[in-house]
Every structure is written in C-alpha cells, then in structure tokens.
Amino acid sequence: MHKYFPQLSEDQKEKFENLLPLYKYWNEQINVISRKDIEQLYVHHVLHALTVVPFYPLMDKAEILDLGTGGGFPGIPLAIYYPNVNFTLIDGTAKKIKVVNEILLELGLENARAFAQRAEETKTRFDMVFTRGVSSVSQLLLWSRPLLKKKHIHGFPNGVIAYKGGDLRTELKELHHREYYEKRNIYELFPIEYFKEKYIIYIQG
C-alpha cells in the first residue's frame, strides 16, 4: 500500500497498520468481513477504498457520506487518508455500526462518525456520496440525490462515487440518457490481479 501512497505520514501509517489487528479482533465478535477475506484486508478493502484518490481527490473540509458502509469501507481508510475531510458512515445493520464505532474510537479518528440508519433517514447534506457494493447505480442516485449540497467545492460536481466490479453495461444503461457518468478502470493505475474488472463509477448529482 505504501508503494502507491508514499506520502503517508507516520501517524497515517500507524493507523493503517492497526486496522488488521482491530478487524481480526472485532470480526471474531461480530462478522463484518468474510473470514476467508480477512487476511486480504489491505488489498481487498483498504487499498480498494483508496483507489478513488487519484481519480477524484477530495478537498479539505468536504463533507462525505459513506452509504451502506458495512464494516467501514470505504469510509475508514478514506478518513485516515484525508484527516481534514469529514466522513459520515451509515448502515442499516446496527451490529456493523457498533464495530465501526469501536474501530473509529480505537484509531482516534475524530473526522469520522457512524450511525445505524438508512439513506432516507439522513437529514444532513453532503458534497459527495461514496458507496461500495450496495445497489445499482440508478438506485444509488435515487437515494443520494436528495442528500447532496447544491454548492460544489471540488473540480467535479457533487454526485455519487460507486465502487463496482464486473460487466456494468446493463446497469449503466438503466441510467436516464441525460445522466452524466464516468467509468474509471482501477486496474490501469493499480495493476493488481484483484482489481481486474473493478471500476470507480462517478455519477453527477
């Protein structure tokens, strides 16, 4: 991971290194990551979360929603990487949010908070909505659009960023023809076997 992000501070490196023992411990209590996947935590979850960085870098003080965070991805790695960005992590499964909050506390991550709630229960407005493995892009846009701020602070308009894999042609065709989206191939910048056929999809809100 340090190979792709050599500029990490010592504090960031320490937080990233602490993720594996923390997830191993909490996964024994409450299963939030597939047990066969836990040894691949850094590539399958942490590095995967960070692959968005070169494509859509975030500005300081941005407000980001991680919709359907599950065990805290992509929100927790992004909160470590962007200490000056504010992250809200939500998921409908309360036991997963319990784990996320415990890990945030252990890491001392003060720029992230987690709540057991659904998108339609959220009252706050955000610059961007991030999501990984939650639903179709058309459904994500439906949930996310009411949660987006009107004012843009990034070099790209506010919208949804979805981590997706496989053949997305049918799913992307479901978007209305007027919707603007971009499909970024993760493997082009991160040539690791796991990232073949994995993409970052940006949909303008």
- Chain mean pLDDT for the chain: 95
Identify the pLDDT of residue 174.
87
Strands of 128-132's sheet in order across: 112-116, 86-91, 63-67, 128-132, 159-165, 198-204, 181-185
Taking residues 119-132, report their average pLDDT. Answer: 94
Model-level pTM?
Answer: 0.96
* pLDDT tens per residue, range 40-58: 999 999 999 999 999 999 9
Residue 77, pLDDT > 90, answer yes
What is the C-alpha separation between 150 and 117, in angstroms, rounded? Answer: 23
Phi, psi angle pair for 151, to nearest 5°? -85, 135
CA separation for the pair 149, 61 (Å, rounded): 14
For residue 21, which of 106, 113, 112 has the smallest C-alpha distance?
A: 106
Give, in words, the CATH class of 10-204. Answer: alpha beta
| pLDDT higher than threshold 80 for residue 1 | no
Report domain extents, the chain: 10-204
